[in-house]
Amino acid sequence: MNPKKIFFTILLIFGLITGVYLVTQTTIFKSRATSTHLPTKENSYLFASPIQAKADGQEKIRITVFLLDSNGLGVSQQSVTLNVPPGIQIETLQSTTDDLGKATFNLSTIYPGKYTISASTSTLNLSQKINLLFL
């Protein structure tokens, strides 16, 4: 038998086996975010960058809130509120969580000091708090 025919026959058999395998496997692709589950305190968190800034009313600290369900997946379409002390200005960039469960805010102030920030939704107060320093 011709070596080329043997090669193409083996290649054809390999391709058929691979094709059958791929077709028979069940793969479920799930969106990263889900709006059918509720966020949990244990998995949701706040992130600040940087954690200190000048207290000049211009320099900002970005606060990102991630609302995650019990499986660690983002929960979309949740309205997030930042709980800040008086004197802190909040610039809301995105208060409703996106497909990753993320909401974003910028904070600034003209009053130097250490401030504790927390976040909440209509059904959940996040247990984590972050401390920011405005100099």
What domains can you pick out in the chain, each with its CATH number? Answer: 33-134 (2.60.40.10)
Tokens of 81: 């509120």
| Mean predicted confidence (pLDDT) in 8-32 | 66
Burial category of 40 from C-beta neighbours within 10 Å (exposed 0-12, middle 13-18, buried 19 and up): middle
More confident residue, 52 or 23: 52
- At 100, the pLDDT band (50, 70, 90 cuts) reads very high
pTM beyond 0.85: the answer is no
DSSP string over 20-70: HHHHHS------SEESSS---TTT-EEEEESSEE-SSSSS-EEEEEE-B-T
